């Protein structure tokens, strides 16, 4: 019976032997493909997917490229396509990243276990050497039982040797236990080839159904055994020479030590504040929101819509009123949020790609343990200074539900988003250092007390921090811009509709007189307890939609220094915005989101009142 | 922490499904896995069996 593949559906000469390039993502397969095939390349869409397969000729072979995969299976479209092409291969050129042998050799061993003829191109040998990795090539050849060619593809090194020795590809040393070998033989009586049989044994239902068989459930057992073998091989062939002389290693070491790491972190946070809170939130947003959106876009859209709809009608107010879907919503999303979110993700991408983020997590791990979190929680916390909504989504990174509850509560309570930070910075700066220090200490104290309280009250304890420390490196601008674009786009599509719904809701409340009614009811509390003027109520009500909107509302009020401080503390600790609340409901359920919301009300007014009493 | 989940953990890097709650790294791509938790059926990184 034929192997399970669909290559007859793409334009491949089946009479020729097929050389298939296989490797993990980003190991440089395309360089090998271009070298071997020169310019004789054709690209075909793979049936049933959006993936294109490149093929070309090399000597008497057909060369096929495959999507980067970590193993041969069917977890996604890329893997299914790679699997089918691999199953049809006569010879496999397996490109392995010499820097990540533990990761990449799993696929190598799986290809060998599939009984395929394999030749290994050990790529990025230069980077391995520069990181102090010494690889015993002869021992690796011996352990795998196949030819291994060292290469540096970007410099064209080793490629000629590889192309000259492709015909030497052979079957290697397997990792399967004798029991699995027996099972494999049984299945192969029906499939007539070991490659398909192994995948059936590993639970691949697609391959099994091709042969009218049931997939078996030995994947984990086989994978674990293969992993052990790969780890043993790597231990045998790899020597790490201490190489702490490189600049990257030196910087990495400084970033991790508390004595140097904490001051560096503070400097970086200061730059973050200068970049987001000052440059983006004030200068850039001043142009995008004030000049472009409010100065140019809003008059244009109001003029346009008022030709068709009366501005005094309910529809007119919903569309182009004070909280209009086409005015305030669009202005906020594109004039305010987009620059802030993009600016923050640009900075964050630099921290991520430079390898700094995991080091911050390791550095602050012990401190966050007191709040029931581990160092990993620094990622949503830092994100929260950009946008609490997006940060709430990233609490999925945390290890347990308990940690998620604590992180989401702290995000909702005491982390002001970048837009709010911008407004707060503008209001507090003229008051002087004393007020700034009281503000920072108050917010930090609330954050620490709330976290410590939740850590005591909630059952369980923080999980241990397990995190890989990648090498410190210079980030690539292309990757940073791509990440920034994708995350900003995701945010706009997620938050946009929610924001529009919130705007419609607040317009209806205002038109129904409910907004005014609330203002009148809570006014005595605002005046009596917080010692603020009655008009502040309106800013707090606006703060329910978005906290920065509420903070901006304070700007237009005539407040004393003490009143400004109290109102800023209240608005900082105030309820999360509507978008953040909806994400919290999605992530943690209605009950817990409501608890965060009510807890924020309580904390904001209790702390605000206490500060008002003492200043 | 004792994991009482009946779900499979899914490797965030390579999508491999892992049943053994004691495994620390994904056997396939060698990436560190999320920590175990007692309520992980609600966690997005876990898939109910």
Determine the pLDDT at residue A489.
Answer: 87
Nearest chain B residue to A106 by CA: give it.
Answer: B28
Average pLDDT of span A393-407: 80
Q: Identify the closest residue of chain B to A459 by CA–CA distance.
A: B38
A528-566 pLDDT tens trace: 999 998 878 878 877 887 777 777 778 768 889 999 999
Distance from CA of A588 to the nearest CA of B (A): 9
Q: Which residue from A415, A282, A383 is spatially nearest to A339, judged by alpha carbons? A: A282
Q: How near does any CA of chain A get to the CA of B48, in Å?
A: 16
> Chain B residues with CB inside 8 Å of A460's CB?
1, 38
Report whether pLDDT(A456) > 70: yes
Which of B30, B39, B45 lies nearest to residue A102, judging by beta carbons?
B30
Once rounded to an integer, what is the mean pLDDT over residues A405-410? 91
What is the share, in percent, of chain B residues with pLDDT greater than 90? 6
A564-612 pLDDT, tens digit each: 999 999 999 988 887 788 778 877 788 888 998 999 999 999 999 999 9
Beta-carbon separation of A399 and B37 below 8 A: yes
* In contact, A400 and B1? CB cutoff 8 Å: yes
Q: What per-residue confidence (pLDDT) applies to A345?
A: 82
pLDDT of A399 > 70? The answer is: no
Q: How confident is the model at residue A47 (pLDDT cuts 50, 70, 90)?
A: low
Q: Distances in Å between the alpha carbon of A208 and those of A178, A211, A379, A426, A541?
A: 22, 5, 42, 65, 61
- Residue B41, pLDDT > 50, answer no
Provide residues of A within 8 Å CB-CB of chain B. Answer: 24, 70-71, 73, 75-76, 102-103, 106, 219-220, 223-224, 226-227, 396, 399-402, 460-461, 463-464, 466-468
pLDDT tens figures, A165-219: 999 999 999 999 999 999 999 999 999 899 999 999 999 999 999 899 999 989 9
Nearest beta carbon to residue B37 from set A226, A227, A400: A400
Nearest to A463 among B1, B19, B28 (CB): B1
3-state SS of A484-531 is HHHHHHHHHHHHHHHHHHHHHHHHHHHHCCHHHHHHHHHHHHHHHCCC
Task: Please tell me whether residue A102 adopts helix, strand or coil conformation.
Answer: helix
Nearest by CB to A220, from B18, B30, B36: name it: B18
CB-based contact A114:A195 (threshold 8 Å): yes
CA count, 13 A, side-chain hemisphere, A413: 29
Among the listed residues A573, A540, A526, A566, the one whose alpha carbon sits nearest the alpha carbon of residue A438: A566
Contact of B36 with B3, CB cutoff 8 Å? yes
Which residues, in sequence order, are bridge partners of residue A6? Answer: none
What secondary structure, in 3-state letters, does A526-543 show? HHHCCCCCCCHHHHHHHH
* Assembly ipTM: 0.75
- The average pLDDT across A282-299 equals 90
């Amino acid at each position: 019976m034929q192997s399970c593949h669909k290559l007859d559906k793409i334009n491949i000469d089946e009479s020729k032997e097929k050389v298939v390039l296989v490797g993990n993502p980003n190991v440089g397969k395309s360089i090998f493909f271009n070298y071997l095939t020169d310019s004789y390349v054709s690209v075909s869409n793979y049936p049933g997917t959006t993936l294109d397969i490149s093929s070309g000729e090399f000597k008497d072979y057909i060369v096929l490229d495959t999507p980067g995969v970590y193993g041969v299976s069917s977890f996604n479209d890329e893997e299914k396509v790679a699997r089918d092409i691999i199953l049809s291969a006569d010879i496999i050129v397996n490109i392995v990243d010499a820097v990540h042998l533990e990761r990449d050799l799993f696929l190598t061993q799986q290809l060998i276990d599939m009984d395929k003829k394999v030749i290994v191109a050990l790529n990025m040998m230069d980077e391995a050497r520069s990181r102090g990795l010494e690889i015993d090539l002869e021992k690796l050849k011996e352990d795998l039982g196949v030819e291994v060619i060292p290469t540096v593809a970007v410099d064209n090194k080793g490629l000629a040797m590889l192309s000259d020795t492709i015909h030497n590809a052979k079957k290697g040393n397997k990792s399967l236990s004798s029991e699995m070998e027996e099972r494999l033989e049984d299945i192969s009586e029906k499939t007539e080839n070991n490659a398909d049989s192994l995948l059936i044994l590993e639970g691949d239902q697609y391959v099994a159904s091709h042969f009218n068989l049931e997939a078996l459930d030995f994947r984990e057992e086989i994978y674990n055994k293969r992993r052990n073998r790969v780890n043993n091989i790597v231990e045998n062939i790899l020597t790490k020479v201490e190489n702490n002389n490189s600049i990257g290693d030196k910087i990495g070491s400084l970033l991790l030590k508390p004595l140097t790491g904490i001051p560096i972190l503070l400097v970086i946070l200061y730059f973050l504040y200068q970049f987001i809170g000052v440059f983006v939130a004030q200068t850039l947003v001043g142009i995008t929101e004030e000049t472009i959106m409010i100065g140019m876009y809003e008059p244009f859209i109001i003029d346009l819509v008022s030709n068709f709809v009366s501005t005094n009608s309910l529809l007119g107010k919903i569309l182009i009123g004070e909280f209009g879907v086409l005015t305030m919503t669009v202005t906020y999303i594109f004039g305010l949020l987009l620059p802030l979110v993009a600016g923050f993700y640009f900075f964050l991408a630099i921290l991520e790609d430079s390898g700094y983020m995991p080091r911050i997590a390791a550095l602050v791990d012990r401190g966050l343990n007191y709040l029931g979190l581990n160092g990993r929680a620094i990622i949503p916390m830092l994100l929260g200074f950009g946008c609490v909504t997006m940060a709430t989504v990233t609490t999925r990174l945390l290890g347990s539900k308990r940690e998620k509850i604590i992180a989401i509560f702290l995000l909702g309570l005491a982390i002001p988003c970048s837009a709010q930070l911008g407004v707060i910075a503008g209001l507090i700066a003229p008051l002087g250092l004393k007020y700034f220090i009281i503000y920072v200490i108050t917010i930090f104290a609330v954050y620490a007390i709330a976290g410590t309280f939740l850590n005591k009250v909630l059952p369980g304890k923080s999980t241990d921090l397990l995190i890989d420390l990648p090498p410190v490196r210079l980030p690539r601008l292309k990757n940073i811009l791509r990440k920034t674009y994708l995350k900003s786009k995701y945010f706009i599509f997620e938050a946009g509709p929610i924001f529009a719904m919130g705007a419609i809701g607040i317009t209806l409340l205002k038109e129904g007189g409910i907004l005014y009614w609330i203002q009148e009811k809570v006014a005595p509390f605002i005046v009596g307890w917080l010692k603020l003027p009655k008009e502040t109520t309106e800013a707090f009500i606006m703060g329910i939609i978005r906290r920065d909107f509420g903070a901006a509302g304070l700007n237009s009020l005539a407040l004393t220094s003490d009143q400004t401080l109290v109102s800023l503390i209240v608005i900082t600790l105030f309820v999360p915005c509507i978008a953040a609340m909806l994400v919290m409901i999605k992530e943690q359920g209605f009950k817990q989101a409501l608890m965060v919301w009510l807890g924020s009300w309580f904390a904001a007014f209790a702390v605000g009142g206490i500060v008002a009493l003492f200043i | 922490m004792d994991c009482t989940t009946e779900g499979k953990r899914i490797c965030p890097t390579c999508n491999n499904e892992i049943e053994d709650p004691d495994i620390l790294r994904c056997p396939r791509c060698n990436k560190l896995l999320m920590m175990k938790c007692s309520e992980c059926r609600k966690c997005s990184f876990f898939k109910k069996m």
